[in-house]
Amino acid sequence: MIIIQSIQEMQQAIVTEKKNGHSIGFVPTMGYLHEGHLSLAERASQENDFVVMSVFVNPLQFGPNEDFDQYPRNFEQDEQYAKKAGVDVIFYPSIKEMYPNEPTVTVKVKRRTDVLCGQSRPGHFDGVATVLSKLFNIVMPDRVYFGMKDAQQVAVVDGLISDMNFPIKLVACPTVREEDGLAKSSRNVNLSETERQEAPVLYDSLKKTKEVYETGERHAGKLKMVLKENLNDRLNLGNLDYAEVLTYPDLEQTDRCNGKIIVALAVKYSRARLIDNIVLDEGEMSC
């Protein structure tokens, strides 16, 4: 495994791989890797000849009062983990390499962002779509791997790839969890001990909502009430940011949950904002 920091070198390496007829799998991350990220890399390495993982904490997707500075970083550990997961290149550019000047062009996401994290974090998905457009042009992957932990991101990337005609297949992978159900996240290290003890309540409330859905309840308002009641009864340290039941991937309000729906929530702790979701589909349970 090698580390590449320059855009030009990265593009050259890809051109060489493509000349040799190799398929390219790409896993974009912000580093501080855990088993969630590694599951994407392992899958990418099973399905492609050459795997690139980017490690870049993208300032464009953080709001002015968000945790850009507090976001955990440990590149040496990332290197060891990525190598074991079958990554061939870590693309590790500096901010200056990615944004040498104030950008002339950025990407604006028009749909799927007026709810959930898009509503709580204005401009976040514009920053995500902008950096991904750059990374797609740098890595030129055949397949790109994203986690359903960030289901709204998957919905936005799905729109980005199809609207901008990137010749890339999007592969959405299931959420990897701790034994107590908490979704693995780089931000979990910023939870206090007592917050960490409370945090499994998030997934537990999603499971309770799924149980009610499985009894045949299809009224979105009722499912949302179950979710909110479960969270409000059991959250002491965390503050509920949102709890929603929406169509997926369009992320629209609905009365009846007949097609694919997402049950999603975000909770703010003192130094970490956690998100989680489940996608439910009649006849098929996913992620």
User: Is 86 a residue that touches ligand AMP (CB under 6 A)?
Assistant: no
Interacting span for ligand AMP (CB under 6 A) from 37-45, 81-89, 119-127, 232-240? 37-45
User: Is 171 a residue that touches ligand AMP (CB under 6 A)?
Assistant: no
Query: In 10 A of CB 211, how many CB atoms?
Result: 11
Burial 94-132 (b: 16+ CB within 10 A, else e): eeeebbeeeeeeebebeebbebbbbeebebbbbbbbbbb
User: Is 150 a residue that touches ligand AMP (CB under 6 A)?
Assistant: yes
Pick the binder of ligand AMP from 176, 199, 245, 275 (CB under 6 A). 176
Nearest residue to ligand AMP on Cβ basis: 147
Interatomic CA distance for residues 19 and 67, integer angstroms: 41
Complex with ligand AMP: residue 226 or 279, whichever CB lies closer: 279
Query: In this structure, are residues 21 and 107 in contact, taking their beta carbons and an 8 Å threshold?
Result: no
Pick the binder of ligand AMP from 93, 127, 147, 238 (CB under 6 A). 147
Interatomic CA distance for residues 1 and 16, integer angstroms: 16
Distance of CA 25 to the CA centre of its chain: 17
Q: What are the residues facing 25 on neighbouring strands? A: 51, 143
Distance of CA 115 to the CA centre of its chain: 16
User: Is 279 a residue that touches ligand AMP (CB under 6 A)?
Assistant: no
Binding mask 16-35 for ligand AMP (x = CB under 6 A): -------------xx-----
Query: In this structure, are residues 11 and 138 in contact, taking their beta carbons and an 8 Å threshold?
Result: yes
User: Is 140 a residue that touches ligand AMP (CB under 6 A)?
Assistant: no
Interacting span for ligand AMP (CB under 6 A) from 36-44, 81-89, 217-225, 264-272? 36-44
Nearest to 282 by CA among 216, 231, 207: 216
Q: Minimum distance from CB of 201 to ligand AMP (Å)?
A: 17
Interatomic CA distance for residues 21 and 8, integer angstroms: 20
User: Is 149 a residue that touches ligand AMP (CB under 6 A)?
Assistant: yes
User: Is 146 a residue that touches ligand AMP (CB under 6 A)?
Assistant: yes
Known catalytic membership, residue 22:
no
Q: Minimum distance from CB of 157 to ligand AMP (Å)?
A: 9
Q: Minimum distance from CB of 216 to ligand AMP (Å)?
A: 29
User: Is 219 a residue that touches ligand AMP (CB under 6 A)?
Assistant: no
CA 201 vs CA 35, 157, 216, 275: distances in Å: 21, 29, 23, 12
User: Is 54 a residue that touches ligand AMP (CB under 6 A)?
Assistant: no
Query: In this structure, are residues 201 and 235 in contact, taking their beta carbons and an 8 Å threshold?
Result: yes
User: Is 175 a residue that touches ligand AMP (CB under 6 A)?
Assistant: yes
Complex with ligand AMP: residue 40 or 261, whichever CB lies closer: 40
Instruction: Label the pairing between strands 24-29 and 50-55.
Output: parallel
User: Is 36 a residue that touches ligand AMP (CB under 6 A)?
Assistant: yes
Active site residues per annotation: 37
Footprint of ligand AMP (CB under 6 A): 29-30, 36-37, 39-40, 146-147, 149-150, 173, 175-176, 183-186
